[in-house]
Structure 1
């Protein structure tokens, strides 16, 4: 595979708003297929990569979809009103370049009268450079989706990009697949759909696979920037984060123990992840069927759901090592 920066550029450049993950699934399939016994896509668009084994069934999930904008109305002047797909923060999108699924570009703007302190999506619009409504309708239809068109680059040693949430989780799974050696575990690496709008793909995938253990690989918020109101233990540069709790689930003690045992055996730097807001695919998986012992491997990330998210390559590498180590470790 290409290096981390180039792989991130490749996957984040693919437009895959929730419910439209097909293009990114195709690219991930190309990268994952050489390391799998079988790959398939289910009805909801989840990509399942299976490494057969005779032991316990372990599921590792990272979501392919992203937040985005969806065109809802076109003004007579040609400006495009939009709604949000997933968690869009209005104040963080002002003057941000976006690109629609068909390649049409524009910039998010706010109404002149809008109060920045009370800004809502309804106060925003996308200017695609249209002359009028007729011109705009020749380029954009109601229901078309758009994503942030920010750059992927290194700031010092840190990786900055839109949609590290959760293309970086997908990359962690892909790189771990390369490193997994012989194991009795029956491994399912699931690249899920529609996480940002309600953990929907993970719900159906978990029901079908019925794993013995499952782990969501996703970004997590940090507490190492100025002015944080609620302190968070996670920081950039201190390793992979083992999920203890978020708003969607409480990690199962056996899942936490397996990850901590894997980290200890391989001397992988780890920190503990407890957040009060936000969730992961484990929120849906842990209540599948009769219940699944679930944990999480989290990539500490700054500025989540903004056009410019930031992560540390060393933490990403630690997450890759932890996924590979946990995948080869037999649960007790």
Structure 2
């Protein structure tokens, strides 16, 4: 597994509407393995591998969670709002970068050293400190509407990868590897790198409307449920590719479930069924477009999802790649 590609993808700052920065990198990686690549007006990048069979769409979203600056205080602190699902208490003390250049750290309007109530911490009472002392100094560096992203290093060992933005650059990496490895297919294949998933699975709607696939799979992370206090998922890190049976936006299509299970079992690929109690994926969006899409979501189990230090298993990623190749 060439994790250098995954590291490069995770290094890009691209909240919703900024996906073109990711698309440019991926386009260069896959252009020699597909018949055509296009981008729609919404920022989705669609790679087409032509075939004579039914249209089969696979998606992975290129955006990541982040923040937008919406106010500058007289003392130079920056007020922000969430872009995607930030988890407030994990933000305190977190380093962020604004517009790829301005470094800062997140603080909160609570005196924690004096025993302040951490339970009252929320994005509405947090700020970014960029090390200035006045509004005038801050305005020389940032503007209202600027985007910020987590700043954390990519780490790996023989078993895992830890990084920001694995949601869903890990899914993008999977699609890249499938595109490169797949020699032939019985389907007319569309690999879609979708935009604005974190702000409401919006890109998946527009892409699937134009493609009108018969089959669709969203490749995304799912939170692990194997640590103390993690109750949102039944999945475990290291137990193989996740086949999502249900989340609030999707119940897996029975034909798709059978297809994925058969592909895994016939090829000795480790897999696990999983149910996610909160959240959703692109599959929840594209399943009901036009006359409907036979839909599923294949998951990369992730610890610390939606934080600056998400953790995935290399073996799980490989299992997802192998499972998709087995059915295509």
Q: TM-score, normalised by structure 1?
A: 0.95
Deviations 1:272-319 (A, max 9, x none): 021111100001100101111100110011010011000000000000
- Matched residue, 1:161: 163
Q: 2:184 aligns with which of 161, 170, 182?
A: 182
1:75 aligns with 2:73: yes
- Please give the residue correspondences for 1:175-324 in structure 2 after superposition, counting only pairs within 5 Å: 175-229=177-231, 232-324=233-325
Q: Is the 8 A contact 2:110 2:121 kept in 1?
A: no
- Bigger mean CA offset, 155-164 vs 72-81: 155-164
Of residues 297-306 and 253-262 in structure 1, the stretch that sits farther from structure 2 once superposed is 253-262
| Distance in 2, Cα, partners of 1:153 & 1:120 | 28
Q: For residue 207 of structure 1, give the secondary structure of its aligned residue in structure 2.
A: helix
- Give yes or no for the alignment of 1:112 onto 2:110: yes
Cα offset, 1:197, TM superposition: 0.7
User: Shift of the alpha carbon at 1:156?
Assistant: 6.1
RMSD of Structure 2 on Structure 1 (CA): 1.3
1:44 corresponds to which of 39, 42, 45: 42
Structure 1 counterpart SS, 2:242: strand
- Which of the numbers 70, 89, 92 marks the counterpart of 2:90? 92
Distance apart, 1:86 and its partner CA: 0.7
Paired residues in the alignment total 324
From 7, 15, 25, the counterpart of 1:17:
15
1: CA distance between counterparts of 2:267 and 2:126?
Answer: 49
What secondary structure is seen at the aligned counterpart in 1 of 2:301? strand
CA contact (8 A) 2:244 2:252 kept: yes
Residue 188 of structure 1 deviates from its aligned partner by 0.4
Q: Which runs of 5+ in 2 are unaligned?
A: none
Residues 224, 230 of structure 2: 8 Å contact kept: no
Q: CA deviation at 1:155?
A: 5.3
What is the SS of the residue equivalent to 2:145?
A: coil
**C-alpha distance in 1 between matches for 2:71 and 2:184:** 54
Query: Structure 1 158/102 Cα, relative in aligned 2: closer, same or farther at 3 Å?
Result: closer
